[in-house]
Amino acid sequence: MLLLVTAHLVLAALLPTVSRWLGRWAFAVGAILPAVSLGWALTSLTEVLAGGTVDESVAWAPVLGLTFTLRLDILSLLMIFLVSGVGVLILCYCVYYFKPDAQSNSRTSALLVAFAGAMLGLVLADDLFTLYIFWELTTVCSFLLVGQDGNTKQQRRSSIQALLVTVLGGLSMLLGFVLLGEQAGTYRISEIVASPPAAGALTSTALVLILLGAFTKSAQVPFHTWLPGAMVAPTPVSAYLHAASMVKAGVYLVARLSPAFSDHTPWWPLIATLGIWTMLIGGYRALFERDLKTLLAYGTVSQLGFLMVLMGAGSHTVAMAGATMLIAHGLFKSTLFLVVGIIDHQAGTRNIDELSGIRRRFPVLTVIGAIGALSMAGIPPLFGFLGKEAAFEGFLESGTTGDLVVLVGLVLGSALTAAYSFRFLWGAFGTKPGVEDSSAPKPSLGLMVPAAVPAALTLLLGVVASLFNALATTYAKPYPAGDHPYYLALWHGFSLPLLLSAVVVASGVGLHLARDRVVRLGGWLPDFLQAQPGYERTVAGLDTVSYAVTGRFQAGSLPTYLAIILLTFVLVPGSAVLTGGSMPEELRLWDSAVQVPVAILVLTAAIAVTMAKRRMTAVILTGVVGYGIGAFFVLDGGPDLALAQFLVETLTLVAFVFVLRRLPSRFTQVESTRSPRWPKVAVSVAAGALVAVSALVFSGARQAPPEASEGFVEAAPEGAHANNVVNAILVDFRAFDTVGEISVLAVAATGVASLILATRRARRPSAAEETEGPRKSREVRK
């Protein structure tokens, strides 16, 4: 499994080079690994359906207990069908969609393959940190694919919005992972689900933070507006990332954790509330869109809300409906996006008001698009109908007030779904009065086949429901099935779910027929329901705060910077030292009477530095402090450390003397800007006291010598032929570190010398100025 994921990333790195020879056929090369991943998943189908799993673990930081842990189970298998299966179709579609000489082909092909690998790693991850790594990789790939080359303002704004929203959710999710892992005592997802931590404040907080990450990734209200904005990406990118795979990452996370936490208080109420709200808002907004791609984007938002509710409910029948709708949505939505891409590619527009006669021009494409749209509307005998009927049945089974309220929301949302599905069919393929019929050339077979395959699967899985029944039943096993388990079928007899499905379709038809009246509403929403203005105000507010903070703290004042550093040091690590540390049991004021006069000398020099008026005096007193510390090293039996200290102090004094030649001899301060000294004194004393206390606390905290030190002591005589362990470490065991430090010092010295030389050249007058100067002086005297 790890080999497959790594191979995707390696191929992505090689594709830009490959595309130089193969051009747009690099997309076909990129489709090889997703096809291999799909084939591997299919070979594991029998084992997974029997309840087995495929596990793989690779330690990448054993000392810290960090491993890459991957696991293939039924949920991972379902997601691989979408991630790899749809990925193969999209990459093949790209060969014919993009222009042969497009400069972005190499970049786009590489990013799509890298994204496929990241999504594969995400759905296989069985460790919270492994999942997070791949989660953020998909975010980065999405940002780059949406932004493309960043030539337009809309591309830049949309990609940045998607990045900000999803990264915010990802960071909160990471914190939730840490809390959840610490509460559970493990970061293995399978172990957490098998033995979840007890309910409590920390567990609830962790779940809320994790859900925030899922909601942002899967475009739930109020974070949904990034998804319609991401439609500036090329249509194949939208079909793959924003319909079939990436936006389902949040849904996948909810489905992964629901068997363990569906009965926790913050879990289901949050999912049900935001999921229904998202379904209604997304469906409502889709009714007014004139761009086919944006219509599908809001439809995707609506369907993601539906999926969230199904995956988070925690009942057997609803779980079966969730698995069914997960695959059904990936099939019909990828079909519809690819159909829109073909229309745009051939006709040059996606605007409903400009399209007419496509049905007569492209009859086969019309059939493909109709299958996808009718499945989205929940029309039998298509796969989408099976999922919606199972969802209605699942919430009717319990009969609780809460589930009935959720059912009402799902029925209303499904009616809106049917309405915008019919609007899509009319807008894409209908004949508009007063609009000239399209004369676009017929699309190539290479564009048609990738769109036809998911449409054919949608029809096949709807007619032969038993093909998917085993998968849905296996996925729903963690939830109790009851005496009469549900099964997927086109016909369950005359029942209330069937009646609700009929009501949904009839309502959708009615809303579509009344589209002229509906469109007059213009998609109006009250201010409190509009998320985009809220996002823009939030970003503008953050900009204002950042300017204020930067203006206050980045003031060009070295004392201000030093004060901020010291205050941070006192408040953050200082609070931990004072609250969690303990002083050593035995403290001695001195070990030797000779230390006392040296300590008095050091303290006197340090105090005198703060009162010095001349720069040279302050430098000499600072040197006295350094030499005094070197004297302590001598008294404590560390002559090598003392020698290093004396050398450093000597070099520092020489450097200061060279610098002070260019500065006034006395410290200068403008009287009008003189600030009170007591805050500076307080910060300095607090920082110094904390350093002293920390030294005492840390010296008493060690219970046993560290293993690394013992190894160095044992290896020094034979391995380095040295009796001085410190020298052996610096010269032999940690030689690369020493070389690095020397290199840093050399670079810094070179930079300082360059600045000094540049300053001298800038101040040195040119030959013309030297000759011009005396002449001007004579003219002035005249």
Instruction: Report DSSP letters for 538-570, one per residue.
Output: HHHHHHHHHHHHHHHH-SS-HHHHHHHHHHHHH
pLDDT of residue 394: 92
Q: DSSP character for 291?
A: B
pLDDT of residue 722: 77
pLDDT of residue 705: 66
For residues 253 and 214, the answer to whether their CB atoms sit within 8 Å is yes
Place of tokens 């010295």: 749
Rounded to whole angstroms, the Cα distance separating 384 from 332 reads 8
pLDDT of residue 670: 47
121-156 residue pLDDT tens: 999 999 999 999 999 999 999 999 998 877 788 888
For residues 425 and 370, the answer to whether their CB atoms sit within 8 Å is yes
For residues 247 and 227, the answer to whether their CB atoms sit within 8 Å is yes
Rounded to whole angstroms, the Cα distance separating 625 from 617 reads 13
Torsion of CA 343, 348, 354, 356, to 10 degrees: -40
- DSSP 3-state of 519: helix
Rounded to whole angstroms, the Cα distance separating 161 from 542 reads 14
Q: Measured between alpha carbons, how far is residue 540 from residues 152, 543, 549 in Å?
A: 21, 5, 14
Query: In the structure encoding, which two tokens stand for residue 656, read together?
Result: 């200061």
For residues 15 and 113, the answer to whether their CB atoms sit within 8 Å is yes
Q: DSSP character for 677?
A: S
pLDDT of residue 761: 62
The rounded Cα 599 to chain-centroid distance in angstroms is: 53
For residues 336 and 328, the answer to whether their CB atoms sit within 8 Å is no
pLDDT of residue 764: 58
The identity of residue 237, as a single letter, is: V
Sign, Cα dihedral of 412, 416, 421, 426? positive
- H or E element: which one contains 744? helix 735-763
- H or E element: which one contains 55? strand 54-61
Residues of the chain with pLDDT below 50 are 670-672, 777, 780-782
Rounded to whole angstroms, the Cα distance separating 291 from 373 reads 16
Residue 703 contacts by C-beta under 8 Å, 6 or more apart in sequence? none
Place of tokens 């009935």: 404
Query: What value does the CA radius of gyration of the chain take, rounded to a whole number of Å?
Result: 34
pLDDT of residue 579: 77
As a whole number of Å, the end-to-end CA separation of the chain is 91
Place of tokens 């010291």: 566
The rounded Cα 224 to chain-centroid distance in angstroms is: 16
pLDDT of residue 672: 43
Rounded to whole angstroms, the Cα distance separating 464 from 411 reads 25
pLDDT of residue 481: 81
Please give the backbone phi and psi of residue 347, each rounded to the nearest 5 degrees, phi first: -95, -20
In the chain, how long is the greatest CA-to-CA distance? 117
For residues 300 and 334, the answer to whether their CB atoms sit within 8 Å is no
635 burial level (CB within 10 Å; 0-12, 13-18, 19+):
middle
- H or E element: which one contains 71? strand 66-72
Please give the backbone phi and psi of residue 56, each rounded to the nearest 5 degrees, phi first: -150, 135
22-58 residue pLDDT tens: 888 889 999 999 999 999 999 999 999 988 889 888 8
Place of tokens 């999405």: 142
Neighbours of 479 (CB within 10 A): 18
Per-residue exposure over 569-586, b if at least 16 CB sit within 10 Å of its own CB, e if not: bbeeebeebeeeeeeeee
Rounded to whole angstroms, the Cα distance separating 141 from 234 reads 14
- Pick from 460, 297, 490, 285: nearest CA to 387: 490
Residue 477 contacts by C-beta under 8 Å, 6 or more apart in sequence? 51
Rounded to whole angstroms, the Cα distance separating 420 from 325 reads 18
